[in-house]
Amino acid sequence: MSETNPSETEVLSGTALEWDSAGSEAAGVGAEVIQALVKRLPNAPGVYRMMNAEGDVLYVGKARSLKKRVTNYAQGRGHSNRIERMIRETASMEFVVTRTETEALLLEANLIKRLRPRFNVLMRDDKSFPYILLTGDHPAPGIFKHRGARSRRGDYFGPFASAGAVGRTINSLQRAFLLRTCTDSVFESRTRPCLLYQIKRCSGPCTGEISAEDYAKLVAEAKDFLSGRSSNVKAGIAAAMQQASAALDFERAAIYRDRLSALSHVQSHLGINPQGIEEADVFAIHQEGGQTCIQVFFFRTGQNWGNRAYFPKADPALGPAEVLGSFLAQFYDDKPCPRLVLLSHEVEDQDLLCEALSARAGRKVLVSVPQRGEKKDLADHALQNAREALGRRLAETSSQARLLEAFAETFGLESPPRRIEVFDNSHIMGTNAVGAMIVAGPEGFVKNQYRKFNIRSTEITPGDDFGMMREVMQRRFSRLVREQGLPGNGSEAQDDAAFPAWPDVILIDGGQGQLSAVQQILGDLGIADLVTPIGIAKGVDRDAGRERFFMEGRQPFTLPPRDPVLYFVQRLRDEAHRFAIGSHRARRKKEMVRNPLDEISGIGPGRKRALLHHFGTAKSVSRAGVEDLMEVDGISESIARQIYNHFHENG
């Protein structure tokens, strides 16, 4: 079900019903506002939103009967502390009437993911899963890692728990099935086999080293293997190996032997492979210390394709049934659902969840809590992983909290910082300059908050680190002011669990000069008193452990060599340096592989392909005369002169 806007759905009076407390006799917030709405609500399924006076959504819920559910809130008794806080802050509500409770459940999950209300269970780290794609839009299909919308024609296999798992599997499948992994443009421009053919990782369809029919057989075998028919594929390859050996064709037999070995390598890396489960996701939840971990295992085609741990944001008072149920609805909001979902605990509205997932998938989906046998073993295995993952997280969080307290004491802060931003620059002689920002908080590095800044200014002298830092600071904080406003408006204070958008501390890789440049930018933006900047200068001989720290109002100082805070700061600085170097290398690599023909106006993929087919390389194109260029299909005299003039300034 796609995202639904209240104005596009059957709603009360034709529009979303919103209570305007300013113009009502029941003006104010809390139960009195909710009570005034009850009389106008129907006994119908739907979704409701509770909002505070500023219009921020506090909570999104679904109900079989909107009237009964809202009446329960209006009575104001028998609620948990969390619900009572939510009711007290409610200043208005909006409602959407749906045809069925199933539609209400799907819409609720969609709105929670989009609006992220602070009183709901929120799924975090919701990046898309990687898949393996066997393309279907080319005569010689390729095998690729894919993430995102399935817009390209072909067969998708997954999900895999991580990009690393996909990469390892594709590497082994290359050795087993000799499928190409090059892009279509590279495929079209090849005139001789590449290195992958030489090391027996590709069958060389680009230059006709294998016939189209034989390559199609390899593709069909790979598809069968990824679809769960691995035993048939291995039996066929083993028979071919025996046949080649009997014919004394030992070289061909060795090729089949290596392919069998590669297939065994794939299956050994996929871990435990249950015999009786073809397609399933296994969820297990463990709660401890006010935190929750949900471990997910993915089984496809009878093979284990990895697992991932999630740590959803949820009120500590909520039990596993409510947290896991809300998590599942959000998890499958934008992901394909398998035929079987196994759980470690019963969830609220389990039958309704089955119905909603079946409606979304267009086929029967079973959600169950296994009680015995192999399925129970899988759920228990996932639960054990959830328990261990949460134990590690609690230990890391406790250690991180102590480090932040010591950090605040060392640098004279009023309280432990909730958000630290670290900035670094990377370039080679000023080229491909990149600024990088990493973020750390009470739970360690927050990688979805990392940012990189491609240095744009043409007025900065190459290698001017001061100028680059000024640009990064200007762009970072001017955008923060524009999008988030100034801190201290009370929104962050209302939700202590929310990760703040504004940093308490910024660490700059540099000494007094870099610190002064940053202070000037913060002063110009009027936020000098809101953020504490700290400069970190590398020590004598650039030795780790001898760093000098610079802060406004204090003389430069160092920390004892074995101080835990020093190690903590070094780890932050090293992470910023790693991220900056990686961003710089990615930008430099992109510049290096850019084809000179891409810079010529009017030369699209078709003409580029024709030129490369005719001349072999872009360098040969640059050396060609106008007459030679005109011999290429699709290159007119005017285009030929344009190409020639691009490579010859005096042309």
Task: Judge contact between 256 and 240, C-beta under 8 A.
Answer: yes
C-alpha 202/C-alpha 212 separation (Å) is: 14
| Rounded-to-integer distance, Cα 188 and Cα 610, Å | 10
More confident residue, 455 or 440: 440
Superfamily of domain 596-647: 5' to 3' exonuclease, C-terminal subdomain (1.10.150.20)
Q: Running DSSP on this structure, what letter comes out for residue 589?
A: H
pLDDT for 244 equals 77
pLDDT at 47: 92
From residue 380, give the alpha-carbon distance in Å to each of 65, 284, 341, 371.
Answer: 36, 8, 14, 10
Least confident span in 110-124, 151-165, 485-499, 563-577: 485-499
**What's the predicted TM-score (pTM) here?**
0.66
pLDDT given for residue 345 in this prediction: 92
The C-alpha atoms of residue 224 and residue 147 are separated, in whole angstroms, by 22
pLDDT surpasses 80 at 8? no
pLDDT category, 12, cuts 50, 70, 90?
very low
CATH 1.10.150.20 domain residues, the chain: 596-647
The 8-class DSSP code of residue 541 comes to G
Tell me which of 603 and 312 has the higher pLDDT: 312
| pLDDT tens sequence across 575-591 | 888 888 877 677 666 65
CA dihedral defined by 337, 340, 346, 351, rounded to 10 degrees?
Answer: 70
- Is residue 87 within 8 A of residue 76, CB to CB? The reply is yes
CA contacts within 13 A on the Cβ side of 224 = 18
Q: What residues have CB less than 8 Å from 342, skipping those under 6 apart?
A: 280, 281, 282, 283, 368, 369, 370, 375, 378, 379
pLDDT beyond 70 at 141: yes
pLDDT tens digits along 373-395:
888 988 998 999 999 888 888 87
Half-sphere CA count of 16, side-chain side, radius 13 A: 17
Residue 208 has which token pair? 């006709």
Which CATH number is correct for 6-115, 3.40.1440.10, 3.40.1790.10, 3.40.50.620, 3.40.50.20?
Answer: 3.40.1440.10
Give the pLDDT band (50/70/90) at residue 18. Answer: very low
Query: For residue range 36-66, what is the model confidence (pLDDT) as tens digits?
Result: 888 888 888 999 999 888 888 999 999 988 8
DSSP 322-384: HHHHHHHHHHTTSS---SEEEESS--TTHHHHHHHHHHHHTS--EEE---SHHHHHHHHHHHH
Beta bridge partners of 596: none
Distance of alpha carbon 417 from alpha carbon 437, whole angstroms:
17
Residue 549 · residue 558 · CB < 8 Å = yes
pLDDT in tens, 231-257: 667 777 777 788 777 778 777 787 777
Token reading at 318: 């909520």
Give dist(CA 140, CA 219) in Å, integer: 9
- % of the chain beyond a pLDDT of 70: 84
pLDDT over 80 (residue 322) = yes
CATH 3.55.10.10 fits 420-488+501-578, yes or no: no
CATH of 280-391, one of 3.30.70, 1.10.10, 3.50.50, 3.30.420: 3.30.420
Tokens coding 209 = 């080293």
Q: Which residue, among 307, 276, 274, has the nearest Cα to 293 in the 3D structure?
A: 307
Distances (CA, A) of 439 to 219, 380, 517: 44, 35, 21
Helix, strand, or coil here: 567? helix
In 397-463 the beta strands, taken as DSSP E runs, fall at 420-428, 431-441, 444-445, 451-454
Mean pLDDT of the chain: 80
Q: Is the pLDDT confidence value at 293 over 90?
A: yes
Of 496-500, 555-559, 609-613, 643-647, least confident by mean pLDDT is 496-500
Phi, psi of 121 (to 5 degrees): -75, 125
Amino acid, single-letter form, for residue 404: L
Distance spanning both ends of the chain, measured CA to CA: 60
Please check whether residue 322 is in contact with residue 263, taking contact to mean a CB–CB distance below 8 angstroms: no
Percentage of the chain modeled with pLDDT above 90: 12
**Residue 274: pLDDT band with limits 50, 70, 90:** low
Indicate the range of 2-11, 162-171, 480-489 predicted with least confidence: 2-11
- Nearest Cα to 98, choosing from 65, 58, 73, 69? 65
Residues 469-497 have pLDDT tens digits of 788 888 888 888 888 877 764 444 344 55
How much is the pLDDT for 427?
59
